[in-house]
Structures are given as C-alpha cells and as structure tokens.
Amino acid sequence: MKTTKGKNEMKKQLLSRNSRQFTHMAMSVGKKRTVIYIHGLSKRDGSSQWYQTNTDFTNNTALNYVRGGKYIKLTNSRGGISKSKKTDWLTEDEIKEWG
C-alpha cells in the first residue's frame, strides 16, 4: 500500500488482475470518515474510469476494504459506487503498473 503526502493525502492499493478491470483503490487520510475511490480501465478502449462509493466509511473500515482490495463488497452493497469527479489521485505510471 502506498501513501501520498501533501494536502490530499491518500492511501492507495494496487489491485490484482480482475474481470472488472479495476486497477486501484484509495481512501483519504486524516479525516474521521471517507469515501473509497476506485480506478478502472474501460474494456472497450482502455481509457481510465473513476468511481467512488456512495457511502462514506470510518477510517478503519475503509482501510480494511482498501488494503484487502475488497471492491466487490463495495459494488454489490453498502450503497454501491458511482462515477467520481476526483481523478487526480493516480499518476499514469501508477496506472501502467497494473497492466
């Protein structure tokens, strides 16, 4: 798990290969509650797709989901996920690590 420093500190987890083509999960650090961010690649053209949970989580719960790569629990329950406007938490090099 990587942690970015600075104003928008985040913990990020590289995911193993999966059929949904989700590459990374992340959470904000330093807040009592946080949404969980998910990055994926389009199956059609490989473009980046950015999502976030519709529910916020305590830091401990979010850390458990992110560290464990438990994106399935987020997409199937707990309010689901939707497109995110936050798209600056991964670099192109980090995205390339997945594939």
Q: Are 78 and 46 in contact (CB under 8 A)?
A: no
Q: Would you place residue 2 in the very low, low, confident or very high pLDDT band (cuts 50, 70, 90)?
A: confident
Quick one: average pLDDT of 32-61? 95
Quick one: average pLDDT of 37-48? 96
User: What's the predicted TM-score (pTM) here?
Assistant: 0.91
Quick one: average pLDDT of 17-24? 95
What confidence tens digit (pLDDT) does each residue in 67-99 have? 999 998 888 877 899 999 999 999 999 999 987
